[in-house]
Homo-oligomer: A and B are copies of this chain.
Amino acid sequence: MNSPRGSGLYRRSKHHAVPSRPAEAPPAADVGQVRQISSLTNDLVKDMRGLQAKKERAETGLFLAEGLKLVTDAFVAGWSVKTLAYAEKVRSQPMVAKAIAEALARGVDVVEVSEAVLEKISRRDNPQMVVSVIEQCYQPLEAIDADKATVIVALEGIKDPGNLGTIIRTVDSVGASGVILVGETTDPFAIEAVRATMGSIFHVPIARASLDDFLAFARAKRLPMFGTHLAGAVDYRTPDYPEPAVLLMGNEQSGLPPRLVEACTQVIKIPMVGEADSLNLAIATGVTLYEMRRKRLTL
Contacts and interface: CB of A to CB of B under 8 A. Distances in A.
A175 B196 CA distance: 27
Interface stretch (A14-22, A83-91, A93-101, A162-170): A162-170
Given A235-B298, A271-B298, A299-B271, A200 B276 contact: yes
A171 B275 CA distance: 10
Contact of A174 (B203, B273, B290): B273
Contacts of A34: none
B299 A198 contact: no
A279 B170 contact: yes
Q: What size tier do the contact residues of chain A reach?
A: 35 or more
A213 to B, nearest CB: 27
A46 interface: no
B286 A175 contact: no
Contacts of A297: 271, 273
Given A235-B298, A279-B286, A274 B175 contact: yes
A216 interface: no
24 contacts: A166-B282, A166-B283, A170-B280, A170-B283, A172-B274, A172-B275, A173-B272, A173-B274, A173-B276, A174-B273, A174-B274, A198-B280, A200-B274, A202-B275, A203-B274, A203-B276, A235-B298, A271-B297, A279-B286, A283-B283, A283-B286, A286-B286, A286-B287, A287-B287
